[in-house]
């Protein structure tokens, strides 16, 4: 008899792929009745390509303002700065162009606009708090009032999720905020825009998407629907990332990776949490300033090895989706990371054992660590995983 279950669908309205962003963003702005569009964009993409200017030309006089210069990990200070300019512009739609940090600042700015937040301290009552035992306290608040169109140029996938991490740089610690209405209204997948993404960033965020799919397949709450999405995501990503390495200008491979990254988020969006690779990765990002994608390059294979006895059969499913069913999943992930020329050890990104105690303590306050298929019961378990990643 089949197990009972449910899939929770997001409030995103549409994903459009394979067309130039300039066309689609203008269409979406018209569909949503927007007259004052505020752009939050990657500075490099804005200044070294025609992607942002093309979107601006498509929107015409509906462009009300632009914010650029977004550090990784969505700092509270950046959120407040972007919010201040969007408020002054009387924005009725946010358009984000760039990686997940751009889309994340957009999500958080929409929340801040809705509640009149003006300082980094004003954000504090809205964050989700996770205790070391995994108990989560999520405040009840009204969601954003205006929509967001996201044009991602990396593969991290944050634009498909109603949760957002934002770093309090004073600690430093990445903290979570979540509301169903924080998810962008629309996502536009433009593979030509993605050709401008630096190779290290494209490939490392591609491994981030692989991490979504792999941990989703191994999650205790996985179900037939999320399995289908994650299996196809992993097939597309493993094939297309290797193809992009061989031919960086292959637009079809870029689009295939974008579709794979979208599918890899289906389980997370539907309520199936990922595991310790993501949870520890959040800490490495917020506390140690390791880029999003690199955290998965470093942590996924060690976490797979640590989990192997608990989910051996599911890891064989992962290996099959990656095309080599008789090889350990951790080895296949490690080989893909190596093929793409990415860092694979904590030492490669400047994180030494002197940071382990701090990282492990923060990790025990990460909800995804507590969702790991092999239970992470203590700081000692996290330290064991970290040691294996040195």
Tell me: the pLDDT tens digits for 229-278? Answer: 999 999 999 999 999 999 999 999 999 999 999 999 999 998 899 999 99
In a domain, 139, yes or no: yes
Q: Indicate whether 121 and 209 sit together in one domain.
A: no
Q: How many domains is the chain partitioned into structurally?
A: 2
Q: Which segments of 219-345 does DSSP mark as H helices, in order? A: 224-246, 251-264, 266-269, 276-288, 292-307, 312-321, 329-339
1 located within any domain: no
Q: Are residues 171 and 229 in the same domain?
A: no
Q: Which residue, 192, 214, 241, sits at the end of a domain?
A: 192
The DSSP letter of residue 2 is P
SS3 of residue 175 by DSSP: strand
- Asked if 95 and 175 sit in the same domain, the reply is yes
pLDDT at 2: 60
- What pLDDT, in 10s, does the model give residues 309-323? 999 999 999 999 999
Residues 202, 129, single domain; the answer is no
Beta strand pairing call for 186-189 and 93-98: unpaired
Residue 31 lies in a domain: yes
Domain-terminating residue out of 172, 192, 212: 192
Residue 315 CA neighbour count, 13 Å, CB half = 22
Pair 241, 206: CB distance under 8 Å:
yes
Q: Starting at the edge strand that comes first in sequence, how are the strands of the sheet with 37-41 ordered?
A: 14-17, 186-189, 147-152, 93-98, 37-41, 63-68
Answer yes or no: do 183 and 161 share one domain. Answer: yes
Is there a single domain that holds both residue 235 and residue 368? yes
Exposed/middle/buried for 287, CB within 10 Å: 0-12, 13-18, 19+?
Answer: buried
19 and 145, same domain (yes or no): yes
Q: Are residues 188 and 202 in the same domain?
A: no
Q: Residue 69: inside a domain, yes or no? A: yes
Per-residue confidence in pLDDT tens, the chain, 390 aa = 467 888 888 999 999 999 999 999 999 999 999 999 999 999 999 999 999 999 999 999 999 999 998 888 899 999 999 999 999 999 999 999 999 999 999 999 999 999 999 999 999 999 999 888 878 899 999 999 999 999 999 999 999 999 999 999 998 888 999 999 999 999 999 999 999 999 999 999 999 999 999 999 999 989 999 999 999 999 999 999 999 999 999 999 999 999 999 999 999 998 899 999 999 999 999 889 899 899 999 999 999 999 999 999 999 999 999 999 999 999 999 999 999 999 999 999 999 999 999 999 999 999 999 999 999 999 999 999 999 999
Does residue 265 contact residue 211 with C-beta atoms inside 8 Å? Answer: no
Residues 164 and 249 in one domain: no
| Boundary of a domain, candidates 129, 161, 192 | 192
Residue 7 lies in a domain: no
- Whether 122 and 26 map to the same domain: the answer is yes
Q: Are residues 139 and 231 in the same domain?
A: no
Whether 234 is covered by a domain: the verdict is yes
Q: Tell me which residue of 162, 252, 147, 153 sits closest to 206, measured CA to CA.
A: 153
What span, in angstroms and rounded, lies between the C-alpha atoms of 293 and 212? 11
Compute the distance between CA of residue 182 and CA of residue 285 in angstroms, rounded to an integer: 21
Residue 124 sits in a domain whose CATH number is 3.40.50.1970
Q: Is the domain of 150 the same as that of 208? A: no
First to last CA, the chain: 44
CATH of the domain at 249: 1.20.1090.10
Alpha carbons 229 and 214: distance in angstroms, whole number: 11
Helices then strands (H, E): number in the chain?
Answer: 17, 10
Q: Domain for residue 302, yes or no?
A: yes
| 161 domain residue, yes or no | yes
Non-local CB neighbours of 334 within 8 Å, separated by 6+ positions: 301, 344
Helix axes 312-321, 199-218, angle to 10 degrees: 140
Instruction: Print the domain residue range for 343.
Output: 198-388
List of E strands, the chain: 14-17, 37-41, 63-68, 93-98, 129-130, 136-137, 147-152, 163-168, 173-178, 186-189
């Amino acid at each position: 008899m089949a197990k009972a279950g449910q899939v929770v669908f997001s409030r995103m309205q549409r994903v459009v792929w394979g067309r130039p962003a300039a066309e689609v963003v203008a269409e979406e702005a018209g569909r949503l009745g927007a007259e004052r569009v505020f752009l939050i964009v990657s500075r490099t993409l804005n200044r070294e390509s025609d992607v942002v200017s093309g979107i601006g030309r498509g929107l015409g006089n509906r462009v009300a303002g632009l914010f650029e210069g977004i550090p990784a990990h969505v700092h509270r200070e950046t959120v407040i700065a972007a919010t201040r300019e969007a408020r002054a512009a009387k924005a009725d739609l946010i358009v984000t162009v760039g990686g997940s940090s751009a889309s994340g600042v957009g999500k958080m700015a929409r929340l801040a606009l809705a509640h009149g937040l003006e300082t980094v301290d004003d954000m504090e009552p809205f964050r989700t708090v996770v205790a070391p035992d995994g108990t989560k306290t999520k405040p009840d608040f009204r969601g954003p009032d205006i929509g967001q169109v996201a044009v991602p140029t990396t593969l991290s996938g944050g634009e498909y999720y109603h949760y957002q991490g934002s770093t309090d740089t004073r600690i430093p610690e990445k903290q979570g905020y979540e509301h169903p209405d924080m998810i962008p209204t629309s996502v536009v997948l433009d593979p030509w825009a993605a050709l401008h993404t630096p190779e290290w960033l494209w490939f490392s965020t591609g491994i981030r998407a692989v991490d979504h799919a792999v941990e989703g397949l191994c999650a205790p709450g996985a179900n037939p629907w999320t399995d289908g999405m994650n299996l196809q995501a992993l097939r597309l990503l493993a094939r297309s990332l290797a193809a992009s390495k061989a031919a960086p200008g292959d637009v079809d491979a870029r689009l295939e990776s974008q579709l794979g990254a979208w599918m890899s988020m289906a389980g997370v969006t539907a309520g199936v949490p990922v595991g310790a690779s993501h949870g520890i990765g959040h800490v490495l990002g917020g506390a140690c300033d390791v880029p999003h994608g690199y955290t998965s390059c470093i942590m996924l294979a060690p976490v797979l090895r640590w989990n192997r006895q608990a989910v051996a059969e599911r890891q064989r499913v992962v290996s099959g989706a990656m095309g080599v069913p008789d090889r350990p999943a951790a080895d296949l992930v490690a080989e893909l990371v190596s093929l793409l020329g990415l860092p694979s050890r904590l030492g490669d990104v400047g994180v030494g054992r002197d940071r382990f105690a701090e990282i492990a303590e923060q990790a025990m306050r990460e909800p995804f660590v507590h969702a790991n298929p092999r239970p992470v019961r203590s700081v000692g378990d996290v330290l064991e995983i970290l040691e294996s990643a040195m």
